[in-house]
Structure 1
Amino acid sequence: MSAAPMLPGTAVSLPRRTPERVLAATGCPVPVVPEQGDLIEHWHERELLSDQPNRTSLPTHESDQVSQVTEQNQHESAPALHALSLGAGVQSTTLLLLSAEGRIPKYDVAIFADTGWEPRSVYEHLDRIDKEVAQPAGIPIVRVRAVGGSGKRSTGDLRADSLRPDSWMRMPVFVADRDDKSAAMVRRQCTDEYKLVPYKQEVRRRLGYVHPRPVPRGMYALSSIGISRDEFQRAKDAQVQYLKNEFPLLYLAGAADGREGWTRNDCIRYLNAAGWGETPKSACIGCPFHGNRAWRDLRDNHPDEWQDAVDFDRQMRETPHRGIKKAPFLHRSLLPLADAPIDKVTRGEWRDRQVDLFDAVADEEAEQLVEEGEYGSCSPWSCRSDTAP
């Protein structure tokens, strides 16, 4: 007999498997345990449990993982839709610019799933790339939100929904573990409910098969995801037959270290050269995955948004939630955000501060190019731009 599915909001230690992955991978009926009937109904309604699961599991090795996704897509018929999953951060903005330039195939649509709690800089950046990049290239940017559900669980505003009394804890906040000795994260539900589900709903709408009408077998959308080489382990399949994921950054040439695929730093260099050096990091204002550096940046450079996060952190503990029994916190110290030790530089941040040799050389060459122009000299046989006359 299968074990009962884990409720969102249950404290676990990373790494972990999400309930939708575990349940979608099994062909067995979903067992019902006390007080879970409405949650399972919610999962079915939001398409977190799929009637046609994609059972392909990706290997963990980088080359095997990437090649398997590629080979799978090559054997499919042509996609009915080519969509960009636009988070408006560094990697997805890079893909939009590359598509607008014609360096990668043009997208039919770029879909931005809005949690309602993005930083002001993200919304301003989204407006700018829409006006200056997407519209001139003929790539519509569509903004979608998670709205509705049984009992009107979602209003499209993650912050407001997370403070509704007796609602499920959607965000991966920190709580004390069973022994009250360290912090544990509750299971994350916000990405699925506020990002993936509305994205999939928009894809289905554009395919012409709104849920619950089944998408015909063989019809699918190709979804372009901005995952760079330094985070290849995040490249996953879409878990549904009508959606196939691709990861263009993993195959681009021209990386600073000469290897196939761009890193996040390669994307940043490209954006700087293209005039988009101020591209923000896309994450909710009060995301518990923020490290100390992100919290410091919010406090020091965005005081209004910092105060918003501090207020939310406090209000969480004043609001009863289903699925957790201990007090939730945004910071892993289990202290109120206003008192958390965010000025401490973590080991991970020290590692990020270490400059990679290839990145350093590429940065120096880029600065020299801006200062002095293209290298070399002109001749009748070779142009500095290496383009034919």
Structure 2
Amino acid sequence: MAALVLAAQGRLDFRTFLFANVGADSENPATLHYFEQYAAPFAAAHGLDLIELHRETKNGTETIRQRIIRSNGSRQTIPVFLTNGKPGSRVCTKEFKILVTGAWLKAHGATADNRATVAMGISLDEIGRANESKAMPYERLVYPLLDLKVRRADCPRIIRSAGLPVPPKSSCDFCPMRKIPEWQAMHEHDPERFARACEVEDTINANLAAKGKRPVFLTRTGRPLRELFKAGVQVPLFDTDDEACDSGWCWT
């Protein structure tokens, strides 16, 4: 969002912004509200193209939650935690962000011989996340916030300078990269959303149980999410960032 403001101010030479929406049943509802109420009107008012994309299949639009539930958990997609606390593999970022954005780029002329310049909003204090080698064959990754020496702490100020509120953190309702205090806040303040996350975990584990396999979890605790905040259950006070999402594609 800070990059969008900087483009409106003429400090970034980018006019097209892509938002890969993973689904109204999957993405943080506050993120979607912000996109509709603030980001989209702001972009339009400043002559910027802010384009909302979705994953399209031969059967229509697919969301991450739909894939998990409709497959009865066999296509878990997200990086659930194994019983030893380590995260499993994930394809959510690639299939619902990178490839969705890539499909739009290729439809607009991007090829291996005519690569699209794709700017990632990684800030100076996150420079370790910048990795041009992660580019797809049809794109060239650049990091304009690094060139402007913009730090993460600068972003709220930049956004507020345009008269906009700071957006909420973008993540799926059931993202295993969420920290324990974030899960607890969801449990206390948005129980319906929390219940939907529990359903995703339950669905995946029902599939594993039918195959005689060990369960997986949406947290490192090794306990089912729906049991985590019951009375008398001890939960860890702190989480580490060791396995945090570092792709830079959330809110893309």
* TM beyond 0.5: yes
Is residue 120–residue 144 contact of structure 2 (8 Å, CA) maintained in 1? yes
Q: 1:233 to 1:201 in 2, by over 3 A?
A: same
Q: Which of 187, 190, 193 matches 2:89? A: 187
Partner AA of 1:192 in structure 2? K
Whole-Å Cα distance in 2 between the matches of residues 134 and 227 of structure 1? Answer: 20
Residue 112 of structure 1, aligned match among 7, 16, 19: 19
Distance 1:166 1:227 in 2: 33
Kindly provide the amino acid, as one letter, of the partner of residue 242 in structure 1: Y
Q: Structure 1 residues 322 and 148, CA, compared in 2 at 3 Å: closer, same or farther? A: farther
Q: Which residue of the partner structure matches residue 64 of structure 2?
A: 158
What's the counterpart of residue 104 of structure 2? 202
Is the contact made by 1:167 and 1:321 (CA closer than 8 Å) also made in structure 2? no
Question: What secondary structure, in the 3-state scheme, does the structure 1 residue paired with 2:62 have?
Answer: coil
Q: What residue in structure 1 maps to residue 142 of structure 2?
A: 246
Q: Deviations over 1:214-250 (max 9, x none)?
A: x362x12111111112222211224334211111111
Distance in 2, matches of 1:114 and 1:195, equals 8
**Corresponding letter in the other structure for 1:303:** P
CA distance in 2, matches of 1:190, 1:323: 23
Tell me the equivalent position of 1:294.
182
Q: Does 1:285 align with 2:173?
A: yes
The equivalent residue for 1:148 is 57
Does the C-alpha gap of structure 1 residues 343 and 184 become closer, same or farther in structure 2, counting only changes over 3 Å? closer
**Counterpart Cα distance in 2 of 1:136 and 1:198:** 26
| Cα distance in 2 for residues equivalent to 1:224 and 1:94 | 13
AA at the equivalent of 1:171: I
State the identity as a percent: 24
Q: Distance in 2 between matches of 1:330 and 1:295?
A: 10
Name stretches of at least 5 consecutive residues in structure 2 with no aligned partner: 242-252
CA contact 1:169–1:321 (8 Å) conserved in 2: no
Shift, 1:304, TM fit: 2.3
1:95 aligns with 2:3: yes
Aligned equivalent of 2:33, options 124, 130, 146: 124
> Is the Cα contact below 8 Å between 1:100 and 1:106 reproduced in 2?
no
Instruction: Please name the residue that 1:345 is paired with.
Output: 237
Q: C-alpha deviations, 1:348-388, integer Å up to 9, x for none?
A: 49xxxxxxxxxxxxxxxxxxxxxxxxxxxxxxxxxxxxxxx
Identify if the C-alpha distance between structure 1 residues 310 and 316 changes in structure 2 by more than 3 Å, giving closer, same or farther. same
Query: For this pair of structures, how many residues does the alignment match?
Result: 233
More relative contact order, 1 or 2 (CA 8 Å, 6+ apart): 2
Residue matched to 1:326:
214
- Deviation track 1:145-180 (CA, whole Å, cap 9, x = no partner) reads 22227xx6x95210120121373331100122xxxx
Which is worse superposed, 133-142 or 335-344?
Answer: 335-344
Q: Distance in 2 between matches of 1:274 and 1:222?
A: 26
Point out where structure 1 has 5 or more consecutive residues left out of the alignment. 1-92, 177-181, 210-214, 253-260, 350-389
- TM-score using structure 2 length: 0.82
SS at match of 1:141: strand
Q: Look up the SS of the partner of 1:307 in the other structure.
A: helix
Q: CA separation in 2, counterparts of 1:264 and 1:161?
A: 33
5 Å matches for 1:222-241? Answer: 222-237=117-132, 238-241=134-137
Equivalent residues of 2:208, 2:215 under 8 A apart: no
- C-alpha distance in 1, partners of 2:112/2:204? 43
Distance 2:142 2:56 in 1: 27
2:150 aligned partner, one-letter code? W
Secondary structure of the residue aligned to 2:87 is strand
- Whole-angstrom distance in 1 between the partners of 2:33 and 2:228: 29
Cα RMSD, aligned residues only = 2.7
2:150 equivalent in structure 1: 262
Q: Name the aligned partner's letter for residue 77 of structure 2.
A: R
> Does the CA contact (< 8 Å) of 1:223 and 1:244 recur in 2?
yes
Runs of 4+ with >4 A deviation: 320-324
1:248–1:200 Cα change, 3 Å: same
Q: Deviations over 1:170-208 (max 9, x none)?
A: 1100122xxxxx22211111111111111100011111x
